[in-house]
């Protein structure tokens, strides 16, 4: 079974964090919600209080397959300012392990030089911060090798399903997608 750490910071977008956790839990993936705060209490960008499973510095990453960075402001900035987190993200990317970021958080990957020559997406307005990336803004989520990016909270389900597919295979992704009745967004 795959194991994922979702990094939580004050000011994060709760839909992006909790949708990923929920989708992966439903698929049987082990998820650790890890606060970068000194405590497990995290307040989202919309003042929703969340209780993480642990703090980031207490996580044993030896068997973790992926780190997920939810967006939201100022949560993304808090994640980016956390050296332990950014060092771990760089370590994962260099080792070929998965790193996923949604909304504003792909800017962290751009700043770390992890998007060079890769396709990536983000929340509209952050495109210039995806340093080195081929920016794709017409897809809800994009996977390029071990990097997965998502556009925004409205794309949290396809982003989470893409994560599931990367970790557990497309068959598992399709199975869960059918169960939760997710459908692509139509033009209206």
Catalytic residues: 103
Task: Please tell me the distance from the alpha carbon of residue 188 to that of residue 169, in angstroms, as a whole number.
Answer: 32
Beta strands in 19-178 (DSSP E): 30-35, 41-43, 49-51, 54-55, 66-69, 98-102, 119-120, 134-135, 141-144, 147-150
* Sign of the CA dihedral running 29, 35, 36, 38: negative
- Closest by Cα among 62, 7, 14, 67 to 35: 7
Task: Please tell me the distance from the alpha carbon of residue 13 to that of residue 72, in angstroms, as a whole number.
Answer: 4
> For residue 48, with 0-12 CB atoms within 10 Å meaning exposed, 13-18 middle and 19 or more buried, which class applies?
middle
Task: Please tell me the distance from the alpha carbon of residue 146 to that of residue 179, in angstroms, as a whole number.
Answer: 26
Angle separating helix axes 14-26 and 170-180, nearest 10 degrees: 110
């Amino acid at each position: 079974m795959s194991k994922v750490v979702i990094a939580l910071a004050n000011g994060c977008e709760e839909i992006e964090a909790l949708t990923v956790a929920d989708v992966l839990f439903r698929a049987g993936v082990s998820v650790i919600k890890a606060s970068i705060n000194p405590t497990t209490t995290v307040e989202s960008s919309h003042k929703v209080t969340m209780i993480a499973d642990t703090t980031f510095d207490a996580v044993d990453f030896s068997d973790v397959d992926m780190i997920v960075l939810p967006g939201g402001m100022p949560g993304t900035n808090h994640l980016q300012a956390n050296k332990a987190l950014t060092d771990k993200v760089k370590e994962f990317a260099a080792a070929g392990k998965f790193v996923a970021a949604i909304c504003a958080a792909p800017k962290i990957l751009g700043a770390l030089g992890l998007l060079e020559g890769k396709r990536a997406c983000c929340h509209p307005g952050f495109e210039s911060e995806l340093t080195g990336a081929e920016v794709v803004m017409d897809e809800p989520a994009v996977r390029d090798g071990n990097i997965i990016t998502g556009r925004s909270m409205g794309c949290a389900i396809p982003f989470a399903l893409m994560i599931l597919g990367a970790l557990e295979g497309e068959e598992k992704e399709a199975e869960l997608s059918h169960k939760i009745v997710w459908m692509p967004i139509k033009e209206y």
